[in-house]
Structure 1
């Protein structure tokens, strides 16, 4: 096999792998735990190609001084309005791949929207 064929195979393989993964800009979830500077949420649906549907995944959503808290109608809220089992939409500060690795499940929230239950 010459170097051109190897390059083509490599490009095709990487393209196929990337097709199964897409950057997440936001997702809807439920709060598992609330801490001072982060919340833990279920992000099992966002983890792509796990191979085992029985495994649940938790994302650690960092709250910064720039994180916006609001409800669906745009009314401003505070972090204290969010409790365990609240349904929320997390809008990420930067779109990213959410995968099995813990590092990829540590994300920063641009906005956290409280969704009516």
Structure 2
């Protein structure tokens, strides 16, 4: 009987740990590289304890992406530079993993321009 309780508690713990990662709607980062119709940004990927490796994600620039400044004014793709601080708003909330290197983005908001 005692063994069944322990197995149940371990199973519940494993499930709770697996569900512990929250989906994110947006994140603040900086532009690391600008290529032909693509931004490369640092991604907040958490692949477990002790994983301090930085990962880059690609934002393919498509016509549906809105470019805004912090006040909500419209910007253009050309208004962004390497080093700019931006808020990336995803098309839908998700848990970012290493396999999510190409992001589906709804909006890129310029928080602070690089000098």
- Shorter chain as denominator, the TM-score bin is 0.7 to 0.9
TM-score, normalized by length of structure 1? 0.79
Aligned length: 110
Aligned with residue 108 of structure 1, among 83, 104, 109: 104
User: After superposition, where does 1:3-22 map in structure 2 within 5 Å?
Assistant: 9-19=10-20, 21-22=21-22
Contact map agreement 1:30 1:41 (CA 8 A) in 2: yes
| CA distance, structure 1, for counterparts of residue 49 and residue 59 of structure 2 | 20
TM-score, normalized by length of structure 2? 0.80
Query: Greater strand percent: which structure?
Result: 2
| CA distance, structure 2, for counterparts of residue 29 and residue 104 of structure 1 | 16
User: After superposition, where does 1:30-41 map in structure 2 within 5 Å?
Assistant: 30-41=30-41
| CA distance, structure 2, for counterparts of residue 15 and residue 106 of structure 1 | 28
Larger-gyration structure (1/2):
2
Alpha-carbon RMSD across the aligned residues, in angstroms, is 2.2
- 1:15-66 deviations in Å (ceiling 9; x for gaps): 22221x11111001010111233210012xx21235232x211111222211
| CA distance, structure 2, for counterparts of residue 50 and residue 107 of structure 1 | 24
Find the residue that maps to 1:83 and give its secondary structure.
Answer: coil
Gaps of 5+ in 2: none
Quote the residue 1:62 is aligned against.
Answer: 60
Find the residue that maps to 1:115 and give its secondary structure.
Answer: strand
